């Protein structure tokens, strides 16, 4: 019943739309025209939709094909991010530009930034290391990486830093939860008293939450369930286990399509800055400066 489509076929569809010919799209992909023709037919059979209008001189996308092609392009963009990120992870050592990022930045922002940098300077090898915020600071200090990205609000004075993007933690519940129907914001004390699905202590998200609760005068959060990854927490919330507090970067898509609902909370500030960090005093040059520039522009 599932039947996931083939990424090659999706790329072919996009290319057919751009080039106006199945054969030309085939050569662009380094394959032959009959193979491409069959792939298209197979994709159409799978989706049970007519996607291309085959005329005797060229092919055009049908209206349905246009729309599906756009959806396919979004898929391929995400795949591109995955491949870019994977390559950066791979060349962690002996890369020309070594970057360390905390999980939130690495998951949601780093592949885009690195991809843009590599489009500007093709052939540049970027190495990405993913750890927690304190480890990132240590890597920067020891010179093992040229540039770091952290979400932690407490930055030591011996390092230079610059804010590059904003993040915000959101209280999220599944659509069926009583809080989802509330019209008034949840009170801060109510949040502090409610058992939450949380990350383990020491993670950036958990720390930000605890700190914000303390700053607002509340007690520590009540753990309902403690999980080791953001996605695990997310899945637990979607499954209805209970509310959680997660980065909007992590649950943006879920909020947009309604798998999760955000609940506003009174009297509490859950914003946090995402900062670039590099060895103190030094001025960034070369690719490190370029990446910082890209990150600054990309974030609002």
Instruction: Please report, as ranges, the residues that interact with a second copy according to CB under 8 A.
Output: 4-8, 10-11, 14, 17-18, 47-49, 61, 63-64, 66-75, 77-79, 81-83, 85-86, 89-90, 103, 106-107, 111-113, 115-116, 119-120, 130-131, 175, 229-232, 235, 253, 256-259, 294, 297-298
Q: What is the C-alpha to C-alpha distance for residues 4 and 263, in angstroms, rounded to an integer? A: 34
The three-state secondary structure class of 33 is helix
Q: Look up residue 136 and give its two tokens.
A: 């990132």
How large is the greatest C-alpha to C-alpha distance in the chain, in angstroms? 73
Helices 63-90 and 7-19, interaxial angle, to 10°? 120
| Neighbouring residues of 299: CB distance < 8 A, sequence distance ≥ 6 | 109, 164, 165, 166, 274
Using CB under 7 A as the binding rule, whether residue 271 contacts DNA is answered as: no
Which pair of tokens denotes residue 106?
């690495």
Q: Is 33 in the site for DNA (CB under 7 A)?
A: yes
| Interaction of residue 39 with DNA, rule CB under 7 A | yes
Q: Dihedrals φ, ψ of 40, to 5°?
A: -60, -45
User: Site for DNA (CB under 7 A): which residue of 1, 2, 48, 56?
Assistant: 56
CA distance 165 to 295: 8
Least Å distance, CB 25 to DNA, is 8
57 binds DNA (CB under 7 A): yes
Nearest to 80 by CA among 10, 150, 147: 10
Q: Least distance in Å: CB of 159 to DNA? A: 40
Output DSSP code: residue 91: T
Stretch that binds DNA, among 26-34, 66-74, 80-88, 105-113 (CB under 7 A): 26-34
* Nearest CB to a second copy, comparing residues 168 and 215: 168
Q: Residue 37 touches which of a second copy, DNA, none (CB < 5 to 8 A by kind)?
A: DNA
Question: Which residue shows structure tokens 């990150």?
Answer: 295
28 binds DNA (CB under 7 A): no
Should residue 32 be labelled a site residue for DNA when binding is judged by CB under 7 A?
A: yes
Select from 19, 44, 18, 23 the least CA-distant residue to 33. 23
Cα–Cα dist 19/80, whole Å: 21
Nearer to a second copy, 24 or 73 (CB): 73
The reply on whether position 86 binds DNA by CB under 7 A is: no
CA atoms of 170 and 141, how far apart (whole Å): 32
Contact assessment for residue 279 and residue 140, using Cβ atoms and an 8 Å cutoff? yes
**Binding window for DNA (CB under 7 A); candidates: 39-47, 160-168, 213-221, 273-281:** 39-47
Rank residues 44 and 207 by Cβ distance to DNA and give the closer one.
44
50 binds, among DNA, a second copy, none (CB under 5 to 8 A by kind): none
Q: Is 121 in the site for DNA (CB under 7 A)?
A: no
78 binds DNA (CB under 7 A): no
Binding residues for DNA (CB under 7 A): 6, 8, 21-24, 31-35, 37-42, 54, 56-59
């Amino acid at each position: 019943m599932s039947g996931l489509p083939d990424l090659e076929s999706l790329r072919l569809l996009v290319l057919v739309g751009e080039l106006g010919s199945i054969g030309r799209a085939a050569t662009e992909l380094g394959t032959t025209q009959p193979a491409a023709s069959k792939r298209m037919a197979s994709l159409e059979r799978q989706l049970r939709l007519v996607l291309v209008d085959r005329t005797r001189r060229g092919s055009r996308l049908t209206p349905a094909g246009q729309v599906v092609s756009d959806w396919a392009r979004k898929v391929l963009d995400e795949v591109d991010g995955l491949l870019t990120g994977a390559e950066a992870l791979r060349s962690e050592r002996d890369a020309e530009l070594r970057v360390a990022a905390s999980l939130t930045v690495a998951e949601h922002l780093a592949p885009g930034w690195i991809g843009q940098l590599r489009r500007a300077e093709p052939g540049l090898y970027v190495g990405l290391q993913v750890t927690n915020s304190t480890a990132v600071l240590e890597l920067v200090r020891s010179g093992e990486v040229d540039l770091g990205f952290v979400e932690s609000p407490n930055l030591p004075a011996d390092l230079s830093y610059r804010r590059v993007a904003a993040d915000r933690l959101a209280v999220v519940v599944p659509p069926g939860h009583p809080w989802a129907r509330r019209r008034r914001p949840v009170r801060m004390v109510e949040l502090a008293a409610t058992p939450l699905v949380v990350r383990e202590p020491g993670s950036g998200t958990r720390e930000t939450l605890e700190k914000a609760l303390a700053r607002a005068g509340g007690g520590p959060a009540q753990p309902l369930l403690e999980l080791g990854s953001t996605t695990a927490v997310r899945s637990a919330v979607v499954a209805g286990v209970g509310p959680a507090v997660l980065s909007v970067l992590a649950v943006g898509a879920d909020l947009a399509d309604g798998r999760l609902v955000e609940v506003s909370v009174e009297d509490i500030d859950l914003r946090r800055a995402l900062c670039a960090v590099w060895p103190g005093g030094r001025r960034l040059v070369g690719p490190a400066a370029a990446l910082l520039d890209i990150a600054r522009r990309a974030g609002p």
